[in-house]
Amino acid sequence: MAWINGRGRRAKRAGRGDIIGAVDIGTTAIRCCIACATKNDGLHAVGVGQQCATGIRHGSIVDMDSAAEAVRRAVQAAEESAGVTLKDVIINVSSAYLESHFVAVELRPRRQKVSKLDLRNAHDQVFCRYESGMGKVVHVVPIEYILDDSRDIQDPVGMFAERFVVRFHVVTTASGPLKNLHSCIERCHLDVADCVVSPFAAGLGSLSDDECEQGVTLIDMGGGTTGIAMFVQGKLRHVDMITVGGNHVTKDLASCLSTSMANAERLKVLYGGAIENESDSRETIDVPPLTSEDGAKGVAPCPEPVARSRVTQIIHARVAETLEIVRSRLAASGFHRMPHRSVVLTGGASQLPGMREITTQILNVDARMGAPNGIEGSESIHVSPGFTTCTGLLAFGASRSSRSVARRTPESTSTHGRLGRFGQWIREHT
């Protein structure tokens, strides 16, 4: 596979006009996008499918039959709208078992000249070190080349040195959840072309080149998980996953207001916000209570009036707690000291009013709302931040041939067009 995956199978080239399929397996929704590479080195969506997720909790499969059925329906809807049949798809990895590791490999180049073989040997050493029965390597990202005492080397191949050091960022996950994802896709009569951790894919689908170069933290807020990806100097430097998401906000509302999950979700979508407004205390909302014994006999329970400010306070408490966890995770990783001048929020759970403001307050950095970019076609993708991960998976797939080269050497190619820049970014930094 690709250099990023480190799984040993060479990826097939995704040329212009080739069909690329991506499946975003989330806790609350399954999304399938089908696209093709265009002449101007872009992506054009030709099919979209979406289904409510079942059998998935915190990004991991807990009921194989239910999860496979939801994936099958999403893929079928996308195939019908595109008029094509997929053979393989690129999927995301959102389990709570993602880990970032950092390792340096030192080599003595033959004839003191760095070759592609040296890069292969460095990669293979790292892959063998972290691939085991309990853990699986998802990404192997070279983040720095050192020739003797010279740093900031962009492409070491062909350069001379007595001592060659490569520093890698290795992303691993637990073997069991990853195998379950593969099995789920195989039950849908599809092959897994590639795996990408969700926050990395969301970054590919929403971040600009300048943001990645200057330093940015992406926070991908889903229904059952919140993913973190940090990019510094154009390189993926850290990933993490928190098992808290939008579903927890819904559960808090249902518990505190004594209403059903369906009613709580409706309240969150229609009246929810992360920061209280002055008018919230003057506005009341009718909240249907849980069905009582009288309700079961046909007597409809009377809705309870609740101040809108109460709904906002419940949501604020959970969102603030989630962002505090993000801040503590970044501090524990040591990357809070590195320059990350902005935060980008993606994912369906990030769309509550006031999310940008509360993020800025708690993390003390500028924040903006992210959305899918670099893709033409279906309007449902452009307007929905929930499709950011799918867009990143498609961009990743469009550059699979570049990653096959990058597994051996970060050779430069044309950077015209967004996919060209993606290809160069992946070749240089993964």
Does the residue 139 lie in any domain? yes
Does the residue 335 lie in any domain? no
Does the residue 147 lie in any domain? yes
Phi and psi at 408, nearest 5°, equal: -105, -40
For residue 428, what pLDDT band results from cuts at 50, 70 and 90?
very low
Phi and psi at 103, nearest 5°, equal: -145, 145
Q: Any idea which residue has 């909790």 for tokens?
A: 57
**Domain range enclosing 156:** 100-174
The rounded radius of gyration (Å) of the Cα atoms in the chain is 23
Domain count, the chain: 1
Residues in the chain: 430
Give the pLDDT mean for 171-186. Answer: 95
320-367 pLDDT, tens digit each: 999 999 999 999 988 766 655 799 999 999 999 999 999 999 999 999
Alpha carbons 236 and 395: distance in angstroms, whole number: 16
Query: 111-116: long-range contacts at Cβ-Cβ below 8 A with a sequence spacing of 24 or more?
Result: 112/160, 112/161, 112/162, 113/158, 113/159, 113/160, 114/147, 114/156, 114/157, 114/158, 114/159, 114/160, 114/161, 114/164, 115/157, 115/158, 116/157, 116/408, 116/409
Q: Any idea which residue has 């330093």 for tokens?
A: 215
CATH number at residue 133: 3.30.1490.110
Give the pLDDT mean for 161-187. Answer: 94
Does the residue 340 lie in any domain? no
Phi and psi at 156, nearest 5°, equal: -80, -15
390-427 pLDDT, tens digit each: 999 999 988 763 343 222 223 333 344 545 555 554 54
Does the residue 5 lie in any domain? no
pTM of the model: 0.85
Give the pLDDT mean for 296-313. Answer: 80
Residue 4 scores a pLDDT above 50: no
Q: So what's the pLDDT on residue 152?
A: 84
Higher pLDDT, 6 or 349: 349
184-213 pLDDT, tens digit each: 999 999 999 999 999 999 999 999 989 998
Going by their DSSP bridges, the two strands 366-369 and 342-346 should be labelled as parallel
Does the residue 116 lie in any domain? yes
Higher pLDDT, 24 or 292: 24
Does the residue 72 lie in any domain? no
For residue 247, what pLDDT band results from cuts at 50, 70 and 90?
very high
Does the residue 221 lie in any domain? no
Give the pLDDT mean for 118-141. Answer: 87
Alpha carbons 213 and 233: distance in angstroms, whole number: 4
